[in-house]
Structure 1
Amino acid sequence: MTTQATTTNTYRMGYSDAIIKFMDARGADTEAFPLLPLLQPTYKLLDLGCGPGSITVGFLPRVAAVTAVDVSGVSIDMTRRRINELEKAGTLSSADAAKIKYLQADILSGLPFESGSFDVVYASQVFVHLTGPGQAAEAMAEVRRILKPGGILATRDAAEALYYPRHLTLWDIWGSKMNRALLGHDAQYVADGRPGGPDMMPKLYREAGFDMNKTKVVSGLPWVFSGREGREWCVNNWTAKMDDASLLDKWTAAGVTREDKQVAKDALAGWLDNDDGYMMVTHCDIIGWK
């Protein structure tokens, strides 16, 4: 994330074909299903960090109005294009398509809404990227501000990546220094818990003033990458990041050496060729009430 709302491409994972294909496969039914039974036809919903809109579109038939917000103009353009194409194809009704508004904005700069504007805020994979000092708490306070009294915040953030077979120890190789460099976590990662991670999210809700008698961690679906195609997606994506010249400073700052990268590449190659290999990403899904 960035504090400059005018930045057009700040998504840390980039916009490669592999990333876009992965994000396109996500939908409200899988990513936001704990929230869906709580939605009402009269609700105004803000989708914070809407990405390419594959989840956003699933909210439209269920509520009165949706505001799609992202710090990236690229994401906003993709969401708008998705809605237009679905309407033209007849997959999305014109009435539902008319419910959406688009806004490129950075929550860390404040959102241009009056306090108490929304019944629901949904944020998928947003807080996990707010890694600077105080950023996650600042964003949580702003979300609470724009919620109506009794309003709902639903967040979903990646928690742990589990690699199997376990003896390949891919988490030890990829997930320590390399994952920290990619997501921008600092030395407090171990001491104080990862910002936006499973250690910190309930605390963020509590310290922001959400009703902790109602606010709960809920059961969400993991992401699973299995079979040759699933493993190839992971390996190709991660190898590209290790070879990305624009990330060199981040690797260096995190202490990732050329030798570290080669060890990781060798381990990934072995995992790719293991017919029993798969990866599962668990999530911290929380629903809170103001």
Structure 2
Amino acid sequence: MTRPGAETYPHGHHASVVAAHGARTAATSCGYLLEHLSPGTSLLDVGFGPGSITADLAAIVAPAPVVGLESASGAVDLARALMAERGVDNITLREGSVYELPFEDGSFDVVHCHQVLQYLSDPPAALREMARVARRVVAAREVDYATMHWAPLNPGMEDWLESYRSAARESGGEPDAARHLRAWANAASYDLLGEVRLEASTWTYATAESTRWWGDVQAARVLESEQNASLRAIGVDDDRLARMAADWKAWGEHPDAWFSMVHGELLLLKW
């Protein structure tokens, strides 16, 4: 098992990854949390990536302070540029580890993460640390790669899905994270801290514009992002990589294209 803190992020921060992650908004990615936010709610966003969700959350809770914590310096630089572009002035971005949050107990009303636990070798430890610094709410949303479904079927995308899931586990994470949220919450002893709520929601791509964009982005990630090195590390060769990318692009152009995936949503409402 990979030591906590020694995990590797299998995607990196190539432009194709930033494009995919930067398209996320508070509405599309943490709607389950929004009823718990209002002006004046202090918030910590863990693993904010390009910062598009964080910027939305900062606007919702302003003038309260928002802190973003990210382990990758490249992501911090990208997010700072986005905050400057949007004129977000109630946020502080810094580097750090979710396993050792540099804050006192109960420092924030809400602690949030989106697509973070799946890359960790010890999600319960991360959840316990997030709960430590939260006064009211801890929120986590994670995808389940095994629930990804698409039509029309093709061999390149099937190969990609199984290969990526293997590569993600080699990197120290769990790509089918959503189905483990209850177990991780139990292991973190959330039931001793407050009320646990678990729900699910989906992302769906089923228009000509969205499937073309999703197919092109995923093809670029296979060939150009750090995911390429992650796949090569488990033995995927040039021919398979080329087929994966070509089939992603061809799928995206198909008039009948459909893609959906399930996300698990965890809320801890502290007493």
> Structure 2-normalised TM-score?
0.81
Higher relative contact order (CA 8 A, sep 6+): 2
Larger-Rg structure: 1
* Structure 2 equivalent of residue 118 of structure 1: 108
Q: What SS does the aligned partner of 1:164 have?
A: strand
Instruction: Give 1:125 deviation, angstroms.
Output: 0.7
The answer to whether the 8 Å contact 1:25/1:54 transfers is yes
- Supply the distance in 2 between the matched residues of 1:188 and 1:18 (Cα, whole angstroms): 23
Q: Which amino acid aligns with 1:103?
A: R
The answer to whether the 8 Å contact 2:12/2:226 transfers is no
* Structure 2 equivalent of residue 185 of structure 1: 169
Compared CA separation, residues 83 and 32, structure 1 to 2 (3 A): same
**1:164 is the counterpart of 2:162:** no
The answer to whether the 8 Å contact 1:178/1:254 transfers is no
Mean alpha-carbon deviation: is it higher for 261-270 or for 28-37? Answer: 261-270
* Structure 1 equivalent of residue 10 of structure 2: 12
Percent identity, please: 24
Q: What SS does the aligned partner of 2:32 have?
A: coil
The answer to whether the 8 Å contact 2:206/2:259 transfers is yes
Compared CA separation, residues 219 and 137, structure 1 to 2 (3 A): closer
1:128 is aligned, of 105, 115, 118, to 118
The answer to whether the 8 Å contact 2:14/2:224 transfers is no
Compared CA separation, residues 118 and 269, structure 1 to 2 (3 A): closer
2:197 is aligned, of 216, 227, 231, to 216
Compared CA separation, residues 231 and 214, structure 1 to 2 (3 A): same
Q: Which amino acid aligns with 1:185?
A: R
Q: State how 1:202-281 maps to structure 2 within 5 Å.
A: 202-211=182-191, 214-220=195-201, 222-244=202-224, 250-258=230-238, 260-261=240-241, 263-265=243-245, 267-268=247-248, 270-281=250-261
Q: Which amino acid aligns with 1:39?
A: L
Q: Which amino acid aligns with 2:45?
A: D
- Supply the distance in 1 between the matched residues of 2:229 and 2:19 (Cα, whole angstroms): 27
1:146 is aligned, of 133, 136, 143, to 133
Structure 1 regions of 5+ residues with no counterpart? 5-9
Cα distance per residue 1:186-223 (max 9 Å; x no partner): 4999xxxx466122111111221213873122243x33
Instruction: Give 1:176 deviation, angstroms.
Output: 0.9
Instruction: Give 1:40 deviation, angstroms.
Output: 4.1
- Supply the distance in 1 between the matched residues of 2:262 and 2:223 (Cα, whole angstroms): 27
1:43 is aligned, of 41, 61, 77, to 41
Q: What SS does the aligned partner of 1:83 have?
A: helix
* Structure 2 equivalent of residue 283 of structure 1: 263
Q: Which amino acid aligns with 2:34?
A: L
- Supply the distance in 2 between the matched residues of 1:170 and 1:209 (Cα, whole angstroms): 41
Instruction: Give 1:122 deviation, angstroms.
Output: 0.6
Cα distance per residue 1:246-267 (max 9 Å; x no partner): 6666435534345544553554
The answer to whether the 8 Å contact 1:163/1:171 transfers is no
Compared CA separation, residues 156 and 170, structure 1 to 2 (3 A): farther
The answer to whether the 8 Å contact 1:162/1:171 transfers is no
**1:102 is the counterpart of 2:93:** yes
Q: Which amino acid aligns with 2:265?
A: D
* Structure 1 equivalent of residue 124 of structure 2: 137
Q: What SS does the aligned partner of 1:55 have?
A: helix
Structure 2 regions of 5+ residues with no counterpart? none
Q: Which amino acid aligns with 1:81?
A: A
Q: What SS does the aligned partner of 2:177 have?
A: coil
Q: State how 1:62-81 maps to structure 2 within 5 Å.
A: 62-63=60-61, 64-81=64-81
Q: Which amino acid aligns with 1:17?
A: A
